[in-house]
Amino acid sequence: MRVELPPEPVHFVNRSEEQERARRAVERWQGRARPLVLVLSGPAGVGKTELAYLLARTMLDRFPDGVRTVDLDDFRWEDDTLDPGDVLTHLLCSLDVEPNLIANSFKARCRQYWTKTSGAKLVLVLDNVRYASELVPLLPASGDSVVIVAGHRPLHDLESGAAVGMPLPPLEEHEARELLSLIVRDPRLAGDPEAVRALVRMCEGLPTALHVAGRWVRAHRIRPMARLVPQLRGEWESRGIPGVERLWDEVYDKLSPAAALLYRLLPHHPAATFTVRSATALLGLGAEDSEEAIEELDRAGLLDLRATDGRLRLQGPLQGHALRRSRRDAADGEVAEAQVRVLRWFVRQAQIADRFAAGQRLRVVDHFAEMPEAPDVPLEDPKETTETELAAERSALALRWLFEERHSLFACARLAHGRELDAETVALSEAVWTYALDHPRQPEVEQVLRLATECAVRSGQAAWMARTCCQLARPLWEADRLEEAQEQIDRAIAAVRLLGRNELDRKLAASVQEFQGMLHGRRGEWQQALAEYSAARDVHRGLSNSEYGVMLQTYRMGEARSKLGDLETARSLLEEAHAGISAQRRERMTGRSAFLLAGVVRGLGDPAGARRLYQQSLDSARRRNSGFDLLRIHDALAELGEEEGRLAEAEEHRTAARAIRQRSGLDE
């Protein structure tokens, strides 16, 4: 069972009425055709999110498909608009759908989500929902599921009877005192009940405010409550900031300069989540100062370090508070400098991961220099070991980094494009290209590649134009937009005419020929594709240090020959390519050349040889976590097993393929 819930809060009081009401609603909902929707509403800091998580925990025994949680604020753009398609992508991934198998269009993605959740018994927690229009597309297709919604206001625009409204009032005074006593556990509270009552009233019954105030009281262990509370009240009243904002301001004002700077900068991190290393790059003061600042924010209650996957974020209202303090307190150029700094750090890390994952290949942007104030991620070069398995593991780790940081890379590309940082945008597109080879058919990838082509045109760099137009053509033809893809190839061909005759320019010309051949292949024009691949190989043979280019075009020629029915020639070409690529320890292409060669060997009547190659390809796909490759390999092995009468083996692979399709919400 997958349960996406943070650790339980140490202290929680009251809300028993809401818990009982939710329990009754679940019991009465049986047999309905649509999911039960519980809407928790109330002001910031009233405890909506914690109650939603608590309700989800109490329902685990009724919902065997687990709990999924989404904070919609993580998916809002700078203008606060929300694309439900982005949230659906996240939900499908959380339901074990491979990113490369997620449908392109919004309507198709909705159908895929409905297919995946049909008959499911799960709990979906949606935080920071503002409008019913944001909620409706995210509802599971099963009446056996429950959706718990948290938002600042009731969803009045939702259809009558479509949800159970549960507004949360602030805590009563005696409940707030109980929570404060649990948070602080200090004898001063019992010794001065009047001061405690005054402090509780200042917090206005908001659990978040009580937690922050409790930490503040613990931080001043010597001062008596009779003096402590008036001092705090005086500071708050002089600022005139109501509610919990006053508490957060008080905590912020006590931060060290480095922690306050980091807090102001975190809302400007390219993606909603961040790591300790990317926060270090954002802050720009070095690893030690950054770690101390992060720990200080955690102690102050402005950041929660309990995340288990290494990714952190400012929680809901704190994100808004940090942004307001940034607008008020940031020095001129402070935010812009930080964003450019973290952007260039991400570019460098992406270039490192790209190189370690894909090896030496054609790239048109120079490597960005190391940043002394922001250490690199701990990836290791596969070429620095002679052990084949260790090299494959290092390559897989680099690919995993690209996958885990994909949202940051997408956001960085948008940021770089908007700031007219053309070299950074194109460099990011090269790394995103490597990521997309294992996870194709993602709209975000197409957007990054399109931004890169715009930057290439804006810069007037012919080499960039040739490269980016070719890269953009691929997701277009994968979506069967063949005319648009040809337009990009034509632009690349025009850019090549502006190049000179140095080695990079000739490699680019050969690459454009290869892409034209791949587009011919997509159209089924394999004779034309063969001619383009052959011409590109001839160019590579005339270049120094172009062994991989020669092997890659040999592989392409083998594919074309197999499609034309010339299996003997195809086998010869593919065996040559597979041996050369394997010797260079290129993980992805080793696996894919093995798969293609296996199909040819199988067609020539050598099932044992085909099985050996399919297994090699399968092992590679597993290391790369490529659902796209795993699916087609399992299908091929199932067919091979049936042909040989190995029915149990065939069923095993058919079951594995079926599981991938089911996880992805795809039809059989």
- Per-residue pLDDT reduced to its tens digit, 284-308: 999 999 999 998 888 777 787 755 5
Q: What pLDDT is stored for residue 306 in this prediction?
A: 58
Phi and psi at residue 149, in whole multiples of 5°? -110, 135
The stretches of 37-172 forming alpha helices (DSSP H) are 48-58, 84-94, 106-117, 132-135
Q: How confident is the model at residue 554 (pLDDT cuts 50, 70, 90)?
A: very high
Name the burial class of residue 483, with classes exposed (0-12), middle (13-18) and buried (19+) by CB atoms within 10 angstroms of its CB: exposed
Q: What pLDDT is stored for residue 497 in this prediction?
A: 93
| 359 lies in the same domain as 494 | yes
**What is the rounded radius of gyration, in angstroms, for the C-alpha atoms of the chain?**
29
| 33 lies in the same domain as 157 | yes
pLDDT at 31 > cutoff 80:
no
**How many angstroms separate the CA atoms of 535 and 540, rounded?**
9
Phi and psi at residue 544, in whole multiples of 5°? -80, 150
* Selection from 89, 139, 135, 76 nearest residue 313 by Cα: 76
481 within a domain of the structure (yes/no): yes
pLDDT at 108 > cutoff 80:
yes
**How many angstroms separate the CA atoms of 653 and 632, rounded?**
10
pLDDT-above-90 percentage for the chain: 52
**How many angstroms separate the CA atoms of 170 and 206, rounded?**
6
Give the torsion through C-alpha atoms of 386, 387, 389, 392, to 10 deg. Answer: -20
9 within a domain of the structure (yes/no): no
pLDDT at 239 > cutoff 50:
no
Q: What pLDDT is stored for residue 52 in this prediction?
A: 92
Integer angstrom CA distances of residue 28 from 144, 474, 589: 12, 51, 55
pLDDT-above-70 percentage for the chain: 94
| 76 lies in the same domain as 209 | no
**Please, which residues have CB within 8 angstroms of residue 637's CB and are 6 or more apart in sequence?**
611, 614, 618, 649, 650, 653
Last residue of a domain, one of 464, 499, 534: 499
Give the torsion through C-alpha atoms of 245, 251, 256, 262, to 10 deg. Answer: -40
| 128 lies in the same domain as 188 | no
Angle at which helices 334-358 and 587-603 cross, to 10°:
40
Residue the block writes with tokens 């339901």: 95
At residue 39, the 3 state secondary structure works out as strand
Last residue of a domain, one of 277, 300, 330: 330
Q: Whole-number mean pLDDT of the chain? A: 88
Range with the poorest average pLDDT among 148-152, 264-268, 320-324, 642-646 = 320-324
564 within a domain of the structure (yes/no): no
| 226 lies in the same domain as 279 | no
| 42 lies in the same domain as 68 | yes
509 within a domain of the structure (yes/no): no
Domain that holds residue 156: 16-167
* Selection from 539, 544, 552 nearest residue 506 by Cα: 539
- Per-residue pLDDT reduced to its tens digit, 608-657: 999 999 999 999 888 888 888 899 999 999 999 999 999 999 999 999 99
pLDDT at 264 > cutoff 80:
yes
| 128 lies in the same domain as 268 | no
**How many angstroms separate the CA atoms of 255 and 262, rounded?**
10
- Per-residue pLDDT reduced to its tens digit, 428-441: 999 999 999 888 88
658 within a domain of the structure (yes/no): no
Q: What pLDDT is stored for residue 309 in this prediction?
A: 66
pLDDT at 238 > cutoff 50:
no
Q: Are 510 and 540 in contact (CB under 8 A)?
A: yes
- Per-residue pLDDT reduced to its tens digit, 145-196: 999 999 877 777 777 667 888 888 888 888 888 888 888 888 888 777 888 8
Q: What pLDDT is stored for residue 321 in this prediction?
A: 80
Query: What single letter denotes the amino acid at residue 386?
Result: T
Q: Are 661 and 668 in contact (CB under 8 A)?
A: yes
Q: How confident is the model at residue 44 (pLDDT cuts 50, 70, 90)?
A: low
Q: Are 373 and 285 in contact (CB under 8 A)?
A: yes
| 350 lies in the same domain as 468 | yes
- Per-residue pLDDT reduced to its tens digit, 15-27: 888 888 988 988 8
Q: How confident is the model at residue 235 (pLDDT cuts 50, 70, 90)?
A: low
666 within a domain of the structure (yes/no): no
**Number of domains into which the chain is organized:** 4
Range with the poorest average pLDDT among 215-219, 376-380, 455-459, 567-571 = 215-219
Q: What pLDDT is stored for residue 620 in this prediction?
A: 87
265 within a domain of the structure (yes/no): yes
**How many angstroms separate the CA atoms of 70 and 89, rounded?**
11
* Selection from 48, 87, 59 nearest residue 1 by Cα: 59
Task: Quickly list DSSP for 168-208.
Answer: -PPPPHHHHHHHHHHHH--HHHHH-HHHHHHHHHHTTT-HH
Q: Are 332 and 412 in contact (CB under 8 A)?
A: no
Q: How confident is the model at residue 241 (pLDDT cuts 50, 70, 90)?
A: very low
Q: What pLDDT is stored for residue 195 in this prediction?
A: 80
Angle at which helices 257-265 and 276-283 cross, to 10°:
110
**How many angstroms separate the CA atoms of 394 and 392, rounded?**
5
pLDDT at 601 > cutoff 70:
yes
Q: What pLDDT is stored for residue 247 in this prediction?
A: 64
Q: How confident is the model at residue 237 (pLDDT cuts 50, 70, 90)?
A: very low
**How many angstroms separate the CA atoms of 291 and 15, rounded?**
37
Neighbours of 647 (CB within 10 A): 11
Last residue of a domain, one of 142, 167, 192: 167
Q: What pLDDT is stored for residue 160 in this prediction?
A: 66
pLDDT at 240 > cutoff 50:
no
- Per-residue pLDDT reduced to its tens digit, 573-588: 999 999 998 888 888 8
232 within a domain of the structure (yes/no): yes
User: CATH code at 233?
Assistant: 1.10.8
| 319 lies in the same domain as 419 | no
| 245 lies in the same domain as 192 | yes
| 342 lies in the same domain as 434 | yes
Query: What single letter denotes the amino acid at residue 58?
Result: T
User: CATH code at 22?
Assistant: 3.40.50.300
- Per-residue pLDDT reduced to its tens digit, 380-406: 999 899 888 898 889 989 999 999 999
| 139 lies in the same domain as 186 | no
